[in-house]
Amino acid sequence: MCGIVGAVASRNVQNILLEGLHRLEYRGYDSAGMAVLSEEGRLNRVRALGKVGALEARLGDSPLKGRVGIAHTRWATHGAPTEANAHPHQSGDSLAVVHNGIIENYETLKRELQGQGYVFTSETDTEVVAHLLAREYTLSQDLLTAVQKSVALLDGAFALGVIHRAQPDVLIGARQGSPLVIGVGIDEHFLASDQLALLQVTDRFIYLKEGDLVRMTAEQVEIFEQGERLITSTNERPIQIFEHAQDAASKGDYRHFMLKEIHEQSRVLAATLEGRLNGDRVLVRSFGSEAETLFSQVKQVQIVACGTSYHAGMVARYWIERLAGIPAAVEVASEFRYRPVVVADGTLFVTLSQSGETADTLSALRYAQSLGGFLGSLAICNVPGSSLVRESDLSLMTMAGPEIGVASTKPSLPSWSA
Ligand code: HGA
């Protein structure tokens, strides 16, 4: 899952952004990048494939200096994990954007923009946003107006952070289907997809609502409901103090972690679906860039898991058959991996595992791959970068956070998505 960090301050923001990216690393990503507006009015960008550490090394060689910037960790949905596809994306050398989520109508917009002479340098859906913003900026000469006009043309789920060299003291954010939070400092403001990214600089946050657009300077925050109506009352979007006691590592008022985690289930389910829904539909791309092609060929589903995940698989079987109308079978991984398996045509192999390292499930996946004949594999898992996720064709990350209770309480909840 991607991460966004942004800052507008009266000090250099590079290290704030970098620390924010490090704090988002647990979510998993394939590349990272940062763009900062320099005092001289230039837009400078550094990107790297792989870990935030690789970006940090590049920044060591060519530091970014400036008081306004945006940064991103990317988990590719459109286009391979490459440096050219890493965010921020630019249109020319004036404007940069970071994006979480999926722009569903990017192909139509891309054709339109190409027809108008915009040249694309990446395979991402995000670059469409950069060129749209540039086009609208040319017309209005105002970044807020450009973002308002552009967002109105986008279909899908997204959170955006935008900067422009002509407005070097402004950072703009937009939230529609993907989380975005404002961090409030003293004469500085921040933007992030997760408050955890900003805890090193503030514990005061404003949580944006769906459709909100925010224009921030170091001194001021203006929030526009549904992108239009300026919110004037602080009651509507209050500043909230982040209670560290709510951390995953604390059991708060609960008697034990197991109880706490059971009570977290509805929030985890909402967090897992956030950014992956468009209206009442799940965005197929959130399973990976090959998902559309693969899912369109599925005739049946074979689910394999262990323990609690196996039980979640049994529920998933009922729901897949009822909602998708295709046959589904579920089997304990330790049985599946040791028996001769006949693979029916068009079968999707689905694994469920909290850690993504469950030995029998992983062996079952490898066995399934060695058999050939399966259409492809999908892992539903809580740990990005785990063996199961790396070795599967598609994946769906659950957002269960760390689980301290011994019995699995959350990771398999969203198995219905299979
Ligand atoms: N669609 C964009 C952003 C991906 C994302 O939000 N992943 O979780 C891309 O592919 O770059």
Is there a single domain that holds both residue 298 and residue 187? Answer: no
CB under 8 Å to 230, separation ≥6 — which residues?
A: 222, 223, 224
Last residue of a domain, one of 244, 259, 286: 244
For 143, half-sphere exposure in the C-beta direction (CA atoms, 13 angstrom radius) is 24
The domain in which residue 26 lies consists of: 3-244
Please work out whether the CB of residue 159 comes within 6 Å of at least one atom of ligand 1. no
Q: Please tell me the distance between residue 175's alpha carbon and the centre of ligand 1 in angstroms.
A: 15
Helices (H), 372-418: 387-391
Burial of 115 (0-12, 13-18, 19+ CB in 10 A): exposed
Q: What is the pLDDT of residue 236?
A: 87
Is there a single domain that holds both residue 199 and residue 287? Answer: no
Please work out whether the CB of residue 100 comes within 6 Å of at least one atom of ligand 1. yes
Which protein residue has the closest C-alpha to ligand 1 atom 7? 75
Q: Which of the listed residues 74, 154, 278, 287 should we mutate to test ligand 1's pocket, taking the one with most ligand atoms within 8 A of CB?
A: 74
Per-residue pLDDT of the chain (418 residues; tens, 9 = 90+): 689 999 999 999 999 999 999 988 877 789 999 999 998 999 999 999 999 999 999 999 999 999 999 999 999 999 999 999 999 999 999 999 999 999 999 999 999 999 999 999 999 999 999 999 999 999 999 999 999 999 999 998 899 999 999 999 999 999 998 889 999 999 999 999 988 899 989 999 999 988 999 999 999 999 999 888 888 878 888 999 876 545 555 677 888 878 888 888 888 888 888 888 888 888 888 898 889 999 999 999 999 999 889 999 999 999 999 999 999 999 999 999 999 999 999 999 999 998 787 878 999 999 999 999 999 999 998 877 678 988 999 999 888 876 666 566 766 555 544 4
Q: Please tell me the distance between residue 78's alpha carbon and the centre of ligand 1 in angstroms.
A: 7
Please work out whether the CB of residue 73 comes within 6 Å of at least one atom of ligand 1. no
Is there a single domain that holds both residue 89 and residue 179? Answer: yes
Q: Please tell me the distance between residue 221's alpha carbon and the centre of ligand 1 in angstroms.
A: 27
Is there a single domain that holds both residue 211 and residue 337? Answer: no
For residue 271, count other CB atoms closer than 10 A to its CB.
18
Ligand 1 atom closest to the Cα of residue 85 is 11
DSSP output for 210-243: TT-EEEE-SS-EEEEETTTEEP--TTTS--EE--
* 330-333 CB contacts, 8 Å cutoff, 24+ apart: 330/302, 330/303, 330/304, 330/305, 331/302, 331/303, 331/304, 332/304, 332/305, 332/306, 332/360, 333/304, 333/305, 333/306, 333/358, 333/360, 333/361, 333/363, 333/364
Is there a single domain that holds both residue 329 and residue 270? Answer: yes
Which protein residue has the closest C-alpha to ligand 1 atom 8? 1
Helix (H, G, I), strand (E, B) or coil at 184: strand
Please work out whether the CB of residue 77 comes within 6 Å of at least one atom of ligand 1. yes
* CA separation for the pair 291, 395 (Å, rounded): 9
Number of independent structural domains in the chain: 2
Domain CATH number, residue 106: 3.60.20.10
Last residue of a domain, one of 244, 268, 296: 244
Please work out whether the CB of residue 384 comes within 6 Å of at least one atom of ligand 1. no
Is there a single domain that holds both residue 223 and residue 272? Answer: no
pTM of the predicted model, to two decimals?
0.74
Ligand 1 atom closest to the Cα of residue 76 is 10
Ligand 1 atom closest to the Cα of residue 2 is 8
Is there a single domain that holds both residue 303 and residue 215? Answer: no
Last residue of a domain, one of 244, 273, 299: 244
